[in-house]
Amino acid sequence: MTEPAVLLEGIRVAFPDGPDERVVLDDLKLSVDPGELVVISGQSGAGKSTLLAVTGLLRRADAGEVTIAGTATSAMSSRQRTAVRRDHIAFVYQSANLLPSLTAVEQLELVGHIRGERSADVRRRARGLLDELGLADRASQLPSQLSGGERQRVGIARAFMAEPSVLIADEPTASLDPQRADSVAELLAGASGRGIATIVVAHDTAALSRADRHLRMEDGRLIDVGG
């Protein structure tokens, strides 16, 4: 049996709400296998982004265990969690979140630089990925010179550059027109072919139609609504 790339068990997150607390994630469970694409939908404020943050080790849960690529992380120090994030997790954001002073190829090279890889290898791999995603001729452009769709594709290429076990995407198609949204969703679906466990928060059919599993967030838990 394949070991899940992501395993969440008994996750609880609550925020203070005046004298009380508002429970956002309540005894939540989730298991995602390598190469599986899971799409999560839910109402605004349901806790989808919080779930992504906990899964991506960007914040700690109040209770429960997050296991990434077979490594339990709840007892880890911040430094150790940073190392797990660097080696196993990549993100794609709604607004691409590219660094304004870096060209497209440098956005990817930065990933390798943070990981302490040799710059010649990093540059070759970065160019290869941009080429693969149809951005070869945009490699030297700054984010301000790219269209919304191109920025998002560079964001995805950056995520692939990390060769992650887990790819987390937060509404990556929300700000794109249907045609570009479809192209981006296709690229994310391509992550499965790379053996990456992909968790996408999305509402549009472009993403939902490609999901291996569709989960809905309700009352702090995930409900399986089919594939």
> CB of residue 103 vs another protein: minimum separation in angstroms?
8
Q: Which of 164, 152, 158 is nearest to 113 (CA)?
A: 158
If one asks whether residue 15 binds another protein (CB under 8 A), the answer comes out as yes
- b/e per residue, 21-42, with b = 16+ CB within 10 A? eebbbeebebebbbbbbbbbbb
Q: Are 14 and 191 in contact, with CB atoms under 8 Å apart?
A: no
Among 76, 110, 208, 225, indicate the residue that binds another protein (CB under 8 A): 110
If one asks whether residue 33 binds another protein (CB under 8 A), the answer comes out as no
Strand partners, 198: 37, 167
3-class DSSP state for residue 20? strand
If one asks whether residue 14 binds another protein (CB under 8 A), the answer comes out as no
Would you give the binding string for another protein spanning residues 74-93, x where CB under 8 A is met?
-----x--xx-xxx-xxx-x
The DSSP code for 3 is P
Angle at 93 between CA 174 and CA 28, to 5 degrees: 90
Cβ distance to another protein smaller for residue 52 or 187: 52
**Distance between first and last Cα of the chain:** 21
If one asks whether residue 106 binds another protein (CB under 8 A), the answer comes out as yes
> CB of residue 201 vs another protein: minimum separation in angstroms?
10
If one asks whether residue 42 binds another protein (CB under 8 A), the answer comes out as no
Would you give the binding string for another protein spanning residues 51-70, x where CB under 8 A is met?
-xx--x-xx-----------
Which stretches of the chain bind another protein, using CB under 8 A?
15, 49-50, 52-53, 56, 58-59, 79, 82-83, 85-87, 89-91, 93, 97, 99-102, 106, 109-111, 113-115, 142, 162, 170
